[in-house]
């Protein structure tokens, strides 16, 4: 019934915005942060995070990612705001113009001056040789400069104490304010300023639906709160939308 209800609300929406956190990628084999075995949960207990089984660029999208692509292709999804950096949304088929990656993307480098973006493959960036290229690290003497203007390139991932990306924040802010339905998937909403967007949407009149395994910091604001595995739940929502079994 919950999947049918969410499908109905999506079907009736005019400006659906989706917000994703690490929980959308756990079915791909990546850890979350605040779940029972999450990275920060374990660290808070003085335990080491569980190692991932392979390099991040070798993980593949799961059914939750592809369900969001379905929403895009069906015309429902107007914008996706994501806290994730592992590139699985773009890898699954979300169009670059339809996503604001608030915390960056580990496969994308950007120019500090012009903000032009380049993939690691475009640059021939060898991480083993040149490092990750984070803003706070001293530039490697052999790393490439921006092909457009010759300025320094940095990895687009936003680490602690890094400034948030202005463009992504502004686009996300505009869509959050326009949303009539704001769907949170796989986030505990514990990290700001990203977690401010569901609250912003709710304040501007959007209906707020939260799908997450475990509590979130905005549960008290939700019009509908669903505790479910999004890689199972979202395909059920898509099935209802395709069959027009919505209410």
Q: Is the dihedral of CA 58, 64, 66, 69 positive or negative?
A: negative
| Cα–Cα dist 153/151, whole Å | 7
| Cα–Cα dist 22/230, whole Å | 11
240 is catalytic: no
CB atoms within 10 A of CB 229: 16
Question: Both tokens of residue 226?
Answer: 């669903």
Residue 236 makes CB contacts below 8 A (sequence gap 6+) with 3
CA distances from residue 18 to 42, 120, 142, 204 in whole angstroms, order as listed:
28, 27, 40, 16
| Cα–Cα dist 37/19, whole Å | 22
- Complete edge-to-edge strand list for the sheet that includes strand 224-226: 99-101, 77-82, 16-20, 181-185, 207-211, 224-226
- End-to-end, the C-alpha distance of the chain in Å comes to 10
Catalytic residue among 65, 79, 103, 240: 103
Q: Kindly give the interhelix angle for 196-203 and 166-178, rounded to the nearest 10 degrees.
A: 30
Q: Is the dihedral of CA 216, 221, 226, 231 positive or negative?
A: negative
Which residues are identified as catalytic? 103
């Amino acid at each position: 019934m919950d999947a049918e209800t969410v499908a109905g609300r999506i079907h009736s929406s005019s400006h659906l915005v989706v917000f994703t956190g690490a929980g959308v990628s756990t079915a791909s084999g990546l850890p979350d942060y605040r779940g029972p075995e999450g990275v920060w949960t374990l660290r808070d207990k003085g335990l080491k995070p569980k190692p991932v089984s392979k390099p991040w660029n070798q993980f593949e999208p799961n059914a939750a990612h592809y369900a969001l692509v379905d929403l895009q292709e069906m015309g429902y999804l107007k914008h996706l705001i994501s806290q994730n950096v592992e590139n699985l949304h773009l890898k699954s088929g979300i169009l670059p113009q339809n996503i604001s990656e608030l915390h960056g993307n580990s496969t994308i480098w950007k120019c500090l001056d012009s903000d032009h973006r380049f993939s690691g493959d475009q640059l021939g960036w060898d991480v083993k040789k040149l490092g990750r290229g984070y803003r706070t690290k001293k530039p490697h003497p052999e790393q490439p400069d921006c092909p457009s203007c010759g300025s320094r390139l940095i990895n687009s991932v936003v680490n602690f104490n890094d400034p948030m990306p202005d463009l992504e924040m502004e686009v996300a802010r505009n869509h959050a304010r326009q949303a009539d339905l704001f769907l949170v998937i796989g986030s505990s909403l514990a990290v700001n300023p990203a977690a401010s967007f569901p609250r912003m949407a709710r304040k501007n009149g959007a209906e707020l639906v939260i799908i997450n395994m475990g509590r979130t910091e905005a549960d008290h604001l939700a019009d509908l709160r669903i505790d479910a595995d999004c890689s199972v739940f979202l395909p059920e929502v898509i099935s209802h939308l395709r069959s027009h079994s919505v209410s």
